[in-house]
Chain A
Amino acid sequence: MRRIVAILLLIIVALGIRQSLAKIPFGAPKTKVGRYYINEGVEETGAVNIVTSVVVNYRGFDTLGEVTVLFIAAIGLGATLTASTKREMRKTQPASLVLYTGCRFLFPLILVFGSYIFIHGHLTPGGGFQGGAIIASGFLLIYLGCRERRINRIASNLAESLGGLTFVVIGLLGLVFGGYFLLNFLPKGTANTLFSAGIIPIIYIAIGFKVGSELAGIIDNLIEES
Chain B
Amino acid sequence: MSFLNSYIYYIGAFGLILIGLYIILVKHNLIKVIVGLGILDTGVNLFLISVGYITKGTAPIFSRSGIDSEHMVDPVPQALVLTAIVIGVAVLALALSLAIRLYQHYGTLNLRKIREQKW
Contact = CB atoms under 8 A, between A and B. Distances in A.
Interface of A: 2-3, 6-7, 9-10, 13-14, 17, 21, 24-31, 33-34, 37-39, 41-42, 48-51, 54-55, 59, 62-63, 66, 69-70, 73-74, 76-77, 80-81, 83-84, 123-125, 127, 129-130, 132-133, 191-192, 211, 214-215, 218, 221-222, 225-226
Contact of A211 (B63, B86, B96, B119): B86
Contact of A21 (B10, B83, B85): B10
B22 A26 contact: no
Interface string B83-119: 1011101110110111011001000000000000001
Contacts of B98: 80
Contacts, number: 149
Interface in B62-96: 62-64, 69, 72-76, 78-79, 82-83, 85-87, 89-91, 93-94, 96
B60 A215 contact: no
Interface of B: 6-7, 9-10, 14, 18, 21-22, 25-26, 50-55, 57, 59-64, 69, 72-76, 78-79, 82-83, 85-87, 89-91, 93-94, 96-98, 100-101, 104, 119
9 contacts: A2-B119, A21-B10, A41-B75, A49-B61, A50-B60, A51-B75, A70-B86, A129-B83, A192-B64
B87 A70 contact: yes
Nearest to A133: B86
Nearest to A63: B83
Contacts of B53: 26-27
Which of B64, B75, B91 has the largest count of A CB atoms less than 10 A from its CB?
A: B75
A118 B25 CA distance: 39
A156 to B, nearest CB: 15
A33 B79 CA distance: 13
A31 B10 contact: no
Of listed B6, B74, B86, B87, residue having the most chain A CB within 10 A: B86
Given A25-B6, A59-B79, A76-B97, 11 more contacts: A27-B55, A30-B54, A39-B69, A50-B62, A51-B82, A62-B83, A66-B87, A74-B93, A76-B94, A214-B90, A221-B97
B32 to A, nearest CB: 14
Contacts of A3: 26
B93 A218 contact: yes
Given A26-B53, A70-B86, A133-B86, A31 B104 contact: no
Given A26-B50, A133-B89, A218-B93, A50 B82 contact: no
A7 to B, nearest CB: 7
Contacts of A50: 60-62, 72, 75
Contacts of A49: 60-61
Nearest to A11: B18
Contacts of B104: 84
A10 B93 contact: no
A54 B18 contact: no
Contacts of B101: 80-81, 83-84
A183 B75 CA distance: 20
